Amino acid sequence: MTPSDLEQPVVLSLLGAGFVTALLHAALPTHWLPFVLVGRAQRWDLPRVLGAVTAAGLAHIVTTAAVGGLIVAAGLALDPWLVDQLPNLAAVLLFAFGAFYLSRALIRRPVPAGAPPLELAEPGVSHAAAFWGLVAMMAVSPGEVLLPIYLSQASAGLGVLAALTVAFAAGTVAGMAGFTLLARAGWSILRLERWARYEGAILGLALIVIGLLVLLGRH
């Protein structure tokens, strides 16, 4: 079956459903909170944060499309153990980032009493390492929620699957960027800068907790 064999309203409904599903899937904290926290720790401006969000979101969908394509091509015979382990790799990356920032905060010398409360410490990891770490975290964790939609359209042809992938990518990046922007705005509105001296410890603990939630969500 090819895209021309499907009625246009059916295709548009499918793509719309794919976009909305991906948008809602991006509401998961693992899809935006690490970008807010790491962006704060690295003192990134908004364009750099959104660049990381976009790259990671696209990597997330590429992995999802690859796994979905393999499952379809293999007739659902892809080793389920391999698919099950990919989110665990994302949790490991979250643990590694969290442990780094937490240990760095614990061994840092106390902030002098007269130091400005809004002053942030210099980033302890390179911007490239932080950027690609976030991208890798999303790349190794395909969107399991989106895979059933791929499977339901296995006989629709490559054109429909490709269009569906584009809809997934648009919804995922839009959702991740939107929730990241909301979180950054909330940070400023709530005046959380007053906690800047504890930011390293908060960041480390938050990333470790997110990693735990990823693992708990697997059971």
CB 31 within 8 A of CB 113: no
CA distances from 60 to 77, 100, 199 (A): 22, 24, 27
Rounded-to-integer distance, Cα 91 and Cα 95, Å: 6
Torsion of CA 48, 52, 53, 55, to 10 degrees: 130
Q: Tokens 């979101």 label which residue? A: 57
CB 105 within 8 A of CB 201: yes
DSSP tag of 123? P
CB 101 within 8 A of CB 207: yes
Number of domains observed in the structure of the chain: 1
pTM: 0.66
pLDDT tens string 41-71: 888 999 999 999 999 999 999 998 888 777 6
Confidence label for 117 from pLDDT (cuts 50, 70 and 90): very low
Q: What residues make up the domain containing 126?
A: 3-216
